[in-house]
């Protein structure tokens, strides 16, 4: 079953303080060497979907740089295509800046494709999924639209910026609603859709006619009675990046190698752009435990329960605990930091102690010297 | 982008038989080094960083892996329109039968037709099995400034070791007056690094003559350089300072890896202005478990470490289980050390498993132990 892959940006109800000032969520560094968007694109590529459209609505630099020609995603460079599509009319965070308006703006590119199906996946959720299986289930069920969801038991305190699916016993979708944290057992909508490309085009055009501010989940919700819309359950690792806490938690949740294997499978590579960094050097003063470390680092201090990005320097005597350290940062001599997200190129040199609260991790800005 | 008018040829046909089992199925330039590299990444990256667009790689011994490895020129950025890596094993031609490369010079002679298609002004000859970083463009400037016919890169070696090398004796202007291969009583300590720049027209003539010479061993050091000197050509020495290693033995390969552990090692693979490029592997970053104890180590992506690591270099996707110890050792890609096993002063070959509680190598051995086959442990 041929499908066009679409990787979507996050709606304006989502904003990750700090990090998102510099790049869209898809371009966020994840687990040291990846970017969040590597997951949906690798899922599509591994599922044999080689024509992929990536929609970008703001701050395109780091994402465009990372995606490049897409050859690192194992996409055939002649038959396949990683197509970067920009939506330019919405001002940032404007209510008019919706996925529907991005699709409308690029409608000719969607219409020009030939695949009978579309698979739409978000750039801000972390999971692995073989879309061939989803397409098969979808086609066999005869549904008009299939939506991927993940059943969770912590919806009261987590996934608060996400949508939920209300399902009947036959997994028919009755409605899509915002998670207001009213119950713990919920079906979190993974913002992942499968449908016929023709239907998708109809939906986009219909949404635009109904309201200039409509989003794709809103039009799908509005059509729940008219169309046969079903949920498909996802199993395995699932995390969302919808605020700083969820970003921090998602990174730290993969520090144990066994847990990581629920996301990373031998036969399901996650591709990313290489940076040609050399291996990481550990000096005599280093003491690293329970951590994930990328290449190109120089480590002389203590690191515990942390994710260390590419090319970081952890100087002698430094203590880094429960932190997510983005690439190319420096943690200076004898600096003690805990429960922090340290953004790219930041240098923590002069402040000798920064202890955050794991429930509300701290954030150190990109390029900052503190 | 057009760069300098110099074409590079990398001699990568050698077996490196003193590396024993490591080169049973791959040529020496394809041997792993430094955690994530293969040795041939060094000359190839140097070429790319020096603005050389076209590189020929002369392969012969066990070349299947090496041929496909170097042919993917985009790894080193050598894939622009005017650029490329060309794999050149011996081939049958319309006017001559298939013949092996009889020597380093013969390998070039048999590819004169290839070189001519690019009409280079200069030809750079490199070894595929040396570890170093060098800007060949600087060497070319030196060649031009001295109006030389050939320039040979030299490095100062300790006088007492000079008799192991090909030694260049120079005049006060740095021009080579004499070349001695492994002299018993060396007059200088300038050793040839096997890196040559030739003005192509002159070398071409010399090679055509050498091909017909039945007495020649068709070797640059033994035949071509002495012939150029005899002819009164201008040969110039280009002094190189920095890290340079020809890893001929298991001991020296181990040592070259260990050199990376020095805080201020001269090779400095972390220098962003002169990166060494290599194959891109799809693995996780490395994982350090709660029982790990790592001191003085070089560790790369894909590793999963839960044991003790001291003074060691761990290559891609090495696994060290809880309670295992790895000391003063080099573990090649995919090597695995199971629970309680001990590895001391050893070089573990690719994908070799050291079983539970097994012990390999020893702290006071004279040589480094090469472990190329699975070592069984407790069942």
| C-beta separation of B197 from B235 below 8 A | no
| Partner A contacted by B79 (CB < 8 A) | no
Residue with tokens 């989940």: A217
Chain A residues in contact with B301 by the CB 8 A cut-off are: 33, 279, 294-295
Stated pTM of the model: 0.94
What residues of B are in contact with residue A303 (Cβ under 8 Å)? Answer: 288
- At B2 the pLDDT is 59
Those residues whose C-beta lies under 8 Å from the C-beta of residue A15, and which sit 6 or more positions away, are A93, A243
- Residue B122 region by backbone torsions, left for phi larger than 0, else alpha for psi between -120 and 50, else beta: beta
**Distance separating alpha carbons of residues B46 and B28, to the nearest angstrom:** 18
Contact, B279 vs B294, CB < 8 A?
no
Instruction: Tell me the pLDDT tens digit for each residue of A128-185.
Output: 999 999 999 999 999 999 999 999 999 999 999 899 999 999 999 999 999 999 999 9
Residues of chain B contacting residue A328, judged by C-beta atoms under 8 Å apart: none
Tokens matching residue B23: 């080169």
Nearest to residue B305, comparing CAs of B316, B315, B291?
B291
Tokens of B11: 């001699």
Contact A131, A213 (CB under 8 A): no
DSSP character at residue B159: G
Strands A313-314 and A298-299: parallel
Compute the distance between CA of residue A174 and CA of residue A177 in angstroms, rounded to an integer: 10
Which pLDDT belongs to residue B97? 84
CB < 8 Å & 24+ apart, contacts of B370-375: B370/B20, B370/B21, B370/B22, B370/B250, B370/B346, B371/B343, B371/B346, B371/B347, B372/B20, B372/B21, B372/B22, B375/B341
Of B278, B288, B300, the CB nearest to A288: B288
B66 φ, ψ (degrees, to nearest 5): -60, -40
pLDDT tens-digit series, residues B110-159: 999 999 999 999 999 999 999 999 999 999 999 999 999 999 999 999 99
Q: What is the mean pLDDT of residues A96-105?
A: 92
Q: Rounded to whole angstroms, how far apart are CA atoms A156 and A169?
A: 22
Name the average pLDDT for chain A.
95
| Two tokens, residue B22 | 């490591």
3-state secondary structure of A64: helix
Q: SS3 for B142?
A: helix
Mean pLDDT of A20-45: 97
Do B236 and B176 contact (CB within 8 A), yes or no? yes
State the first-to-last Cα distance of chain A, in angstroms, to the nearest integer: 53
Q: Are B351 and B367 in contact (CB under 8 A)?
A: no
A112 interface with B at CB cutoff 8 Å:
no
Asked if A293 and B288 come within 8 Å (Cβ–Cβ), the reply is yes
Confidence band of A93 (pLDDT split at 50, 70, 90): low
Q: Hey, is the C-beta of B10 within 8 angstroms of any chain A C-beta?
A: no
In chain A, the percentage of residues whose pLDDT exceeds 90 is 91
pLDDT at B3: 63
Chain B hits for A279, Cβ within 8 Å:
34-36, 269, 298-301, 313-314
Tokens of A337: 């930091």
Please give the Cα distance from A79 to B19 (Å, whole number).
43
Higher-confidence residue of B339 and A78: namely B339
Say whether B297 and A289 touch across the interface (CB within 8 A). no
**Average pLDDT of the segment spanning A286-314:** 98
Query: Shortest CB distance from B294 goes to which of A72, A288, A295?
Result: A288
DSSP 8-state assignment for residue B221: I
Strands B244-246, B130-132: parallel, antiparallel or unpaired by DSSP? antiparallel
Per DSSP, what are the bridge partners of residue B246? B130
Q: Is B51 helix (H, G, I), strand (E, B) or coil?
A: coil
Cβ B220 vs Cβ B196: under 8 Å: yes
User: Strand, coil or helix: what is B177?
Assistant: strand
Provide the pLDDT confidence category of residue A95 given band limits of 50, 70 and 90: confident
What φ, ψ does residue B82 adopt, rounded to 5°? -90, 15
- Cα separation, B109 vs A127, in Å, equals 56
Burial annotation A86-125 (CB, 10 A radius, 16+ → b, else e):
ebeebeeeeeebbbbbbbbbbeeebeebebebbbbbbbbb
**First CA to last CA distance, chain B:** 60
As a whole number of angstroms, the distance between CA A213 and CA A208 comes to 8
pLDDT digits (tens, 9 = 90+) for A260-273: 999 999 999 999 99
Partner residue facing B36 (CB), from A279, A292, A298: A279
Q: For chain A, say whether B275 makes contact (Cβ under 8 Å).
A: yes
| The two structure tokens encoding residue A359 | 């429930």
What are the two backbone dihedrals, phi and then psi, of residue A288, each rounded to the nearest 5 degrees? -115, 130
Give the best residue of A263, A271, A278, A283 to mutate against chain B (max B CB count within 10 A).
Answer: A278
Please give the pLDDT value at position A89: 64
Positions in chain B whose pLDDT score sits under 50: 1
CA distances, A245 to each of A125, A161, A328, A344, A358 (Å): 14, 12, 22, 18, 9
Report helix, strand or coil for B138. helix
Least CB–CB distance from B285: residue in A269, A292, A303:
A292
In the numeric block, which tokens belong to residue A364? 């150190």
Q: What does the pLDDT read at residue B66?
A: 93
Quick one: tokens of B156? Answer: 């100062």
Give B18→chain A minimum CA distance, Å.
Answer: 27
Q: What is the DSSP letter of B220?
A: I
* Res A58: pLDDT: 86
Inform me whether the C-beta atom of residue A274 falls under 8 Å from chain B C-beta atoms: yes
Q: If you average pLDDT over residues A188-208, what whole number do you get?
A: 97
Query: Is B299:B308 a contact under the CB 8 Å cutoff?
Result: no
- Per-residue pLDDT at B16: 85
- DSSP codes of every residue in A238-290: EEE-SSHHHHHHHHHTT-SHHHHTTT-BTTBPPP-----PPPEEE-TT-EEES
pLDDT(A190) > 70: yes
pLDDT in tens, A107-135: 999 999 999 999 999 999 999 999 999 99
Question: How far, in Å, CA of B68 to CA of B70, rounded?
Answer: 6
Q: Cβ contacts (< 8 Å) between B313 and chain A: which residues?
A: 279
Report residue A199's pLDDT band, with 50, 70 and 90 as the boundaries.
very high
Q: How would you classify the pairing of strands A347-348 and B6-11?
A: unpaired
B72 touches chain A (CB under 8 A): no
pLDDT at B15: 83
Residue B143 to chain A, least CA–CA distance (Å): 31
Distance CA A23, CA A60 (A): 7
Measure the CA–CA gap between A339 and A273, rounded to whole angstroms.
28
Q: Taking 70 as the threshold, does the pLDDT of residue A91 lie above it?
A: no
Rounded CA-CA distance A107/A204 in Å is 9
**Any B CB within 8 A of A298 CB:** yes
């Amino acid at each position: 079953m041929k499908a066009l892959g679409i990787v979507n940006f996050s709606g304006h109800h989502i904003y990750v303080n700090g990090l998102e000032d510099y790049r869209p969520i898809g371009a966020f560094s994840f687990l040291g060497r990846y970017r969040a968007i590597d997951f949906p694109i690798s899922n599509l590529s591994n599922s044999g979907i080689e024509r992929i459209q990536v929609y970008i609505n703001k701050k395109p630099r780091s994402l465009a740089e990372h995606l490049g020609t897409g050859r690192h995603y194992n996409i055939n460079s002649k038959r396949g295509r990683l197509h970067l599509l920009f939506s330019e009319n919405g001002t940032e965070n404007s209510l008019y800046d919706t996925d529907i308006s991005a699709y409308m703006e690029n409608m000719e590119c969607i219409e020009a494709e030939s695949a009978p199906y579309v698979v739409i996946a978000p750039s801000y959720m972390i999971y692995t999924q073989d879309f061939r299986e989803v397409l098969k289930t979808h086609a066999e069920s005869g549904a008009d639209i299939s939506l991927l969801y993940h059943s969770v038991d912590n919806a009261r305190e987590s996934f608060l910026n996400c949508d939920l699916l209300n399902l009947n016993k036959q997994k028919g979708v009755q409605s899509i609603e915002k998670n207001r944290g009213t119950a713990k057992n919920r079906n979190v909508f993974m913002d992942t859709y499968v449908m016929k490309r023709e239907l998708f085009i109809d939906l986009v055009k219909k949404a635009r006619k109904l309201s200039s501010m409509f989003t794709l989940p809103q039009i799908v919700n509005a059509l729940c009675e008219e169309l046969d819309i079903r949920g498909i359950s996802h199993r395995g690792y699932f995390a969302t990046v919808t605020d700083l806490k969820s970003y921090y938690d998602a990174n730290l949740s993969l520090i144990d190698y066994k847990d990581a294997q629920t996301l990373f499978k031998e036969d399901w590579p996650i591709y990313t752009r290489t940076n040609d960094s050399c291996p990481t050097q550990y000096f005599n003063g280093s003491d690293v435990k329970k951590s994930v470390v990328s290449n190109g680092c120089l480590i002389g201090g203590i690191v515990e329960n942390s994710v260390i990005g590419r090319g970081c320097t952890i100087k002698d005597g430094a203590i880094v605990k429960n932190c997510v350290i983005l690439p190319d940062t420096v943690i200076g001599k004898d600096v003690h930091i805990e429960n922090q997200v340290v953004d790219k190129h930041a240098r923590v040199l002069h402040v000798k102690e920064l202890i955050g609260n794991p429930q509300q991790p701290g954030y150190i800005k990109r390029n900052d010297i503190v | 982008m057009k760069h300098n008018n110099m074409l590079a040829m990398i001699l990568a046909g050698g077996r490196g038989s003193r590396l024993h089992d490591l080169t049973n199925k791959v040529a020496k330039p394809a041997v792993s080094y430094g955690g994530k590299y293969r040795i041939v990444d060094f000359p190839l990256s140097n070429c790319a960083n020096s603005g050389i667009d076209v590189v020929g790689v002369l392969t012969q011994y066990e070349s299947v892996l090496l041929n496909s490895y170097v042919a993917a020129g985009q790894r080193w950025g050598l894939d622009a329109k005017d650029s490329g890596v060309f794999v050149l094993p011996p081939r049958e031609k319309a006017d001559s039968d298939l013949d092996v490369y009889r020597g380093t010079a013969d390998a070039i002679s048999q590819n004169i037709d290839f070189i001519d298609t690019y009409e280079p002004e200069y030809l750079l000859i490199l070894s595929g099995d040396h570890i170093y970083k060098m800007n060949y463009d600087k060497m070319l400037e030196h060649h031009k400034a001295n109006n030389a016919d050939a320039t040979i890169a030299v490095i100062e070696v300790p006088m007492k070791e000079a008799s192991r090398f090909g030694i260049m004796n120079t005049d006060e202007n740095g021009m080579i007056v004499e070349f001695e291969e492994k002299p018993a009583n060396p007059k200088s300590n300038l050793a040839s690094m096997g890196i040559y720049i030739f003005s192509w027209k002159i070398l071409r003539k010399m090679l055509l003559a050498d091909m017909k010479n039945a007495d020649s061993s068709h070797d640059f050091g033994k035949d071509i350089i002495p012939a150029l000197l005899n002819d009164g050509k201008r040969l110039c020495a280009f002094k190189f300072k920095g890290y340079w290693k020809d890893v001929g033995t298991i001991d020296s390969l181990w040592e070259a890896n260990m050199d990376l552990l020095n805080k201020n090692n001269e090779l400095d693979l972390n220098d962003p202005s002169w990166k060494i490029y290599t194959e891109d592997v799809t693995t996780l970053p490395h994982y350090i478990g709660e029982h790990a104890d790592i001191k003085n180590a070089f560790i790369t992506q894909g590793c999963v470490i839960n044991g003790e690591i001291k003074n060691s270099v761990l290559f891609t996707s090495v696994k060290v289980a809880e309670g295992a110890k790895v000391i003063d050792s080099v573990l090649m890609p995919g090597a695995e050390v199971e629970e309680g096993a001990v590895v001391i002063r050893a070089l573990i070959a690719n994908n070799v498993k050291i079983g539970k509680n097994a012990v390999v190598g020893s702290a006071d051995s004279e040589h480094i132990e090469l472990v190329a086959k699975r070592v069984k442990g407790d069942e």
